[in-house]
Structure 1
Amino acid sequence: MKTITIRLEGIMQSYGESSDSPTANYKTTGDHPTKSAIIGMIASALGYRRDDERIESLNKLSYAVRIDQPGSQMVDYQNVRYREKSEVKNTRTWHYNLQEAVFLAAVSSQDDKAIEKIEYALHHPRFALFLGRRSNVPFGPLETKCHDSMTPVEVLETAEWQAEEWYRKWYRKKFPMENTAILEIYADAELLPERPERAVRDVVKSFSQNKRMHEYRLEAHTSTSVDFKFSSNDYQDHDAMKML
């Protein structure tokens, strides 16, 4: 078994858990990347088009994701004017996004060559990669790492904290008595058989814009602790006068 981790960071990210219709006025986001979003990213990297039958086989990948930096929600409001036959109409849309968020996603397979192919494709994508929506692009090339003989959850329980330095310093000041940070992990239920489950509409049947289809899968939740790995000097307030 091989597992690949993918660091996800961008100006904005958006992960709709309910398979929002492309014509819906309200497009919401969950607080962590959905499995279907990561499958969509992998499919784009591999060069699969929206109606490619091979996309459905990617659902067999084991999946987990860790929230390293939660971010905050913001709303993109748009007033759209369009013409329908001879009549001019107006409609309004609200697109919800996560800003300043960082996640560490992990996918695995018993087929080592399949994971190696995915990792190569993520660094040499055939189509553009995005974070949930086409308008939300990653910060530069994706950072990935391959792990042998570990499940996605095991990898995320031991991986270094991926949050930005400013966020880690803020966390440290908010919890000065703590030596570790608690990070949330969401995974395929079979990876966490003893944890509570919930059903999410997150199994890709079709990405076609004419007939987008998703089915339900079971998702479980756990958490892990990570070290700060900062020296005490890193938390002192900045004093510009010391530079003079």
Structure 2
Amino acid sequence: MPRHLLLRLEAPMVAFGGETIDNYGVIRDFPALSMVTGLLANALGWRREDADLHNRLQNRLVLGARRESIGNRLRDYQTALLFENDQVWTTVGVPEGRAKSPSYSKLADGRKALTLQRYRDYHANLSTLIALRLEPADEAPTLGDLAHALDHPARPLFIGRKPCLPSRRIFAGWQDGRNILQVLQSTACLDSSAGNLQMQWPDGEGELQGDRKLDLCDERNWTSGVHGGWRPVRKGTFKPGEVQI
């Protein structure tokens, strides 16, 4: 049976980001394929400009997730005072300014400024198990390379957003299984008293009675820097101790 790498994403605050709408940074119940790709790439020491490496790793990933604690949701209100002639560095390494706008107000010192407002959602006290494998398995980086990088990351790791620092070791071991669903069902839960566990896994990686098939947009084009496309996934619940598929 194929070997799968296990990750445990647990932190006081976690951000499984979804589609950003205006100044609202929303979250999803499960981590996006692009988020896990970025997490692994960061551990390996890749740079944002290494688009081909990111795209290839994302295309090879087959992964599913299981929520082991529900936690709470919280919203962070963020503000920043921006001056009319301010410039910032961009991901392409070129400083960029903001267009002049009537939204700027004159301050007592004569400068014009505006207050940028943003809202960012987070999961609080969430624990999520990730099961993944790579196809093809013998191409670099291998699962072994990923496991080593998670324990010896080239840079500090975070779960979704930079304030979301993991509170436990991310690498959580190995598990053999016919498919992602079987691995999610057969891996022991940290909380032995846990009830129904919510899960998400790729379509074609097992079926569960009462599950739902959905189309999910969570793949990033690392060359253009935008998300696009749809992939089919399944969502369902499972209670530890039930008959496994």
Normalising by structure 2, we get a TM-score of 0.77
* 1:152 positional shift: 2.3
* 1:140 positional shift: 4.0
Partners of 1:10 and 1:136 within 8 A in 2:
yes
Quote the residue 1:77 is aligned against: 77
Matched, 1:202 2:203: no
Tell me, in whole angstroms, the C-alpha distance in 1 between the residues paired with 2:77 and 2:41.
29
The one-letter amino acid of 2:83's match is R
Partners of 2:202 and 2:233 within 8 A in 1:
yes
Unaligned stretches of 5+ in structure 2? 86-110
Tell me, in whole angstroms, the C-alpha distance in 2 between the residues paired with 1:29 and 1:50.
22
Tell me, in whole angstroms, the C-alpha distance in 2 between the residues paired with 1:205 and 1:31.
22
Partners of 1:102 and 1:162 within 8 A in 2:
no
Give the 3 Å change call, closer, same or farther, for CA 16–207 of structure 1 in structure 2. Answer: farther
Unaligned stretches of 5+ in structure 1? 172-180, 228-244
Helix, strand or coil at the partner of 1:58: helix
* 1:96 positional shift: 0.3
Helix, strand or coil at the partner of 1:11: strand
Identical aligned pairs, as a percentage? 22
Partners of 2:8 and 2:169 within 8 A in 1:
no
Quote the residue 1:175 is aligned against: none
Tell me, in whole angstroms, the C-alpha distance in 2 between the residues paired with 1:192 and 1:133.
31
Partners of 2:81 and 2:114 within 8 A in 1:
yes
The one-letter amino acid of 1:33's match is P
The one-letter amino acid of 2:41's match is A
2:147 to 119, 125, 148: 119
Give the 3 Å change call, closer, same or farther, for CA 207–87 of structure 1 in structure 2. Answer: farther
Tell me, in whole angstroms, the C-alpha distance in 1 between the residues paired with 2:138 and 2:198.
27
* 1:130 positional shift: 1.0
Normalising by structure 1, we get a TM-score of 0.77
Worse overlay, 78-87 or 28-37: 78-87
Question: 1:85-164 to 2 correspondence within 5 Å?
Answer: 85=85, 86-110=111-135, 111=137, 114-163=142-191
The one-letter amino acid of 1:78's match is Q
The one-letter amino acid of 1:117's match is D
Tell me, in whole angstroms, the C-alpha distance in 2 between the residues paired with 1:145 and 1:161.
13
Tell me, in whole angstroms, the C-alpha distance in 2 between the residues paired with 1:150 and 1:123.
26
Quote the residue 1:15 is aligned against: 16
* 1:72 positional shift: 1.0
Give the 3 Å change call, closer, same or farther, for CA 51–214 of structure 1 in structure 2. Answer: farther
Tell me, in whole angstroms, the C-alpha distance in 2 between the residues paired with 1:222 and 1:17.
20
* 1:112 positional shift: 5.4
What do residues 96-119 of structure 1 show as CA deviations (whole Å, max 9, x unaligned)? Answer: 000011100111125157111111
* 1:10 positional shift: 0.3
Partners of 1:205 and 1:215 within 8 A in 2:
no
Matched residue count? 208
Quote the residue 1:226 is aligned against: 240
What do residues 19-58 of structure 1 show as CA deviations (whole Å, max 9, x unaligned)? Answer: x37xx41101112222221111111111111221111112
| RMSD, aligned α-carbons | 2.2
Greater helix content: 1
Quote the residue 1:240 is aligned against: none
Partners of 2:41 and 2:54 within 8 A in 1:
yes
The one-letter amino acid of 1:54's match is L
* 1:216 positional shift: 2.2
Helix, strand or coil at the partner of 1:190: coil
